[in-house]
Structure 1
Amino acid sequence: MLGTEIYREGDTLRTMSRAGSLPPLTAAALWGGMYVVSKWGFAVIPPVTLAFLRVVLGGLTLFAVVRLTMPNRSFSRDDWKRFGVLGGWVALTLVTQFVGTDLTTASQGSLLTVLTPVFTLLLGVSILGESLSERKGTGMALAVVGTLIVLTGRYDFSTVGNGNLLGVLALFAASFGWAGYTVWGKPLVRTYSALETATYSTLASIPLVAVLVPFELAAVSFDASVTLPIVGAVLYLGVFSTAAAWFLWYRGLEELDAGVVAVFFFAQPVVGAVLGALLLSESLGPSFLAGGAVMALGVWVVSTAGE
């Protein structure tokens, strides 16, 4: 096994592979790619409708993979209820995230990146009984500071107090929703698998989001023209940033604490900035290098907190 180490979780010794950090890090990188995708025009679709398209594509992709690769399994009624609860967290997260992003400025939208790992760490401690060592707390604080430095170089934070209060509250709800999806999903991931848990929770979210779509379409006007960038953006959102990323995020939970997995979420804006520089000719200032270094240090501290 690559880089195996022994660490203590409560009073139990567990084996953790350093390779277990790769899946959630890859998931964060895929979410970072959404920044570039948004520049290519997917925002012309109303937010709730876009969230619906995203979970439909993501759910169908995951289901196809499950049927091809996993044995048929019978779930208990209680398990189906738990998948349904996760579907509720998914619906809450996506609807509030997309609505919040639509109503707020870019600087306000970045709150999602900073708050989600913090909420996840706190819920992991309070709901799952995960340990919160001084080292883990210090690492999380460093990652928050580093991420804020990176974001300051990309956004005008003098506008963070402007904009729509409802949008800001929606972003807070989205941050908490994804933390809930992470924490409440861990027992199912450990009982079954990351792939099955991601699949059935995503499928459970589809009708919950679908019921809101007709109301949105009746209330807003939008350009319904279909272009290649929009099709590509929707496909990226559904297949890569949903099906692949959500599976990889839960794959990290098969080995790591929710609080450890959460810290990799901070890589999202760093990847977004790098892709923006490579594909959109945006500049990377000194704040990116400084903030990225501090963030990376914080991620390393948290991910090795058990050593």
Structure 2
Amino acid sequence: MSSGIGRYAFALAPLAAAALWGGMYVVSKWGFALIPPVTLGFLRVALGAGALWLVVAGRGGPAPSRDEWPAFVVLGGWVTLTVATQFVGTELTNASQGSLLTVLTPVFTVLLGAAVLGERVTAAKAGGMTVAGVGTAVVLAGQYDLASTAAGNALGVALLLVGSAAWAGYTVWGLRAVRRHGALRAATYSSLASVPMLGLLAAGELWRLGISPTDIPLTAESVAAVLYLGLASTAAAWYLWYKGLEYVPAGTVAVFFFAQPAVGAALGAALLGESLGSGFLAGGALMTVGIWVVSRERAGTTEGTADAAAE
């Protein structure tokens, strides 16, 4: 059994996942300019699923039984819906819209966790989520003109909302698979299940655009974008996200998602020369406090949550 410190470290694994996802704001500046969004999403998940499968195969152990695959197919459907709507929605909107709407994921996750898994929304969790959310809003207000957030493509905004809700679904409905198979196998087989679904969507996108797969440019930028999205923000990040579910409830894991825009802003400043907003430090401090408060509820309701997920 893991030590208390080890369990706490794994409970913080979703924070590392959020940091890796924060890098997507930088990488997308390369990827979307070179590869259509759904096709890029397919390449991302196919590479990530392949990398995860190699690790699982190297470790050995039985594959899921025929009766277990339907659950992974459902999770693959959540993955497909998340990636397709998130990437297309991001292409149709601006950075402020994308940042604000994607951080609604924790809200959706807490609501689904309470409705589907029976997780308790304690005063500490609600307060910590609120503080972290305010911190995120302060960071974004310093980076973007939030007064213009409502402007732009309504379809893109709607798709980003669907993407946020879909990732909440992947988190909540994945808890049972994580507790039964472990984070690595749950992330691997759900990703593998999504590959043919995203492949069909990508083929339809290329057909609609009149683009042949051979027309996609093979440049250093496109290769680097796919490698980062596939290995870092998919294989590593999805495993880390599910690893947190081994130790804490879905609603607790969700709070770490608030860190994603802050990491994206910091990487944009470091790698792209973008300026950090005036509220970055203050917002980051509030976010840290909120995440710390929620993360202290490590395993208090984990067993009850697992029981509810297994019903």
User: What's the TM-score, normalizing by structure 1?
Assistant: 0.91
Structure 1's consecutive aligned runs of 4 or more residues displaced over 6 angstroms after TM superposition are none
User: Which residue number corresponds to residue 67 of structure 1?
Assistant: 57
- Once residues 77 and 58 of structure 2 are traced to their aligned partners in structure 1, the CA distance between those partners, rounded to angstroms, is 26
In structure 2, C-alpha distance between the alignment counterparts of 1:224 and 1:98, rounded to whole Å: 17
Alignment of 1:1-307 (within 5 A): 3-4=4-5, 17-69=7-59, 71-220=60-209, 224-305=216-297
Which stretches in structure 1 are left out of the alignment for 5+ residues? 5-15
**Structure-2 separation of matches of 1:33 and 1:190:** 28
CA offset at residue 41 of structure 1? 4.5
- Three-state SS of the structure 2 residue aligned to 1:110 is helix
For 1:208 and 1:224, how far apart are their aligned partners in 2?
20
Number of matched pairs: 295
Shift of 1:280: 1.9
1:9 is matched with: none
Give the Å deviation of 1:68.
0.4
Once the two structures are TM-superposed, the CA of residue 83 in structure 1 deviates from its matched residue by 0.3
Cα distance per residue 1:47-79 (max 9 Å; x no partner) = 11111101110111110010002x321433331
Looking at structure 1, the residues matched to 226 and 64 of structure 2 have their Cα atoms a distance apart, in angstroms, of 31
CA distance in 2, matches of 1:78, 1:180: 21
Aligned-residue offset at 1:135 = 1.0
Please say if residues 2 and 19 of structure 1, whose CA atoms lie closer than 8 Å, have aligned partners that are also in contact: no
Output the CA distance in 2 between the equivalents of 1:192 and 1:113: 28
1:212 is paired with a residue of what secondary structure?
A: helix
State the one-letter code of the partner of 2:208: A
**Identical pairs, percent:** 60
Q: Tell me which amino acid in the other structure corresponds to 2:149.
A: V
User: Contact 1:111–1:171 at 8 Å: present in 2 too?
Assistant: no
Kindly provide the amino acid, as one letter, of the partner of residue 233 in structure 2: S
Give the Cα separation in 1 of the matches to 2:175 and 2:143. 33
Q: Deviation digits for residues 114-160 of structure 1, max 9, x if unmatched?
A: 21011111111111111110110111111111111111112221221
The answer to whether the Cα contact below 8 Å between 1:42 and 1:233 also exists between their aligned partners in 2 is no
Q: Is the 8 A contact 2:34 2:217 kept in 1?
A: no
Q: Which runs of 5+ in 2 are unaligned?
A: 301-311
Shift of 1:34: 1.2
**How much is the aligned-residue C-alpha RMSD, in angstroms?**
1.8
Residues 14 and 244 of structure 2 are in contact (CA less than 8 Å); yes or no, is this contact kept in structure 1?
yes
| Superposed CA offset, 1:18-55 (max 9, x none) | 21233111111111111221234444211111111011
**1:178-224 CA distances to partner (integer Å, 9 max, x unpaired)?**
00000101111101110000000000001111111222112226773
8 A contact 1:20–1:256 mirrored in 2 = no
By how many angstroms is 1:286 displaced? 2.6
Q: Is the 8 A contact 1:42 1:229 kept in 2?
A: no
Q: Which moved more, 1:178-187 or 1:18-27?
A: 18-27
The amino acid across from 2:116 in the alignment is: I
Query: What is the CA-CA distance between 1:255 and the residue it aligns to?
Result: 0.6
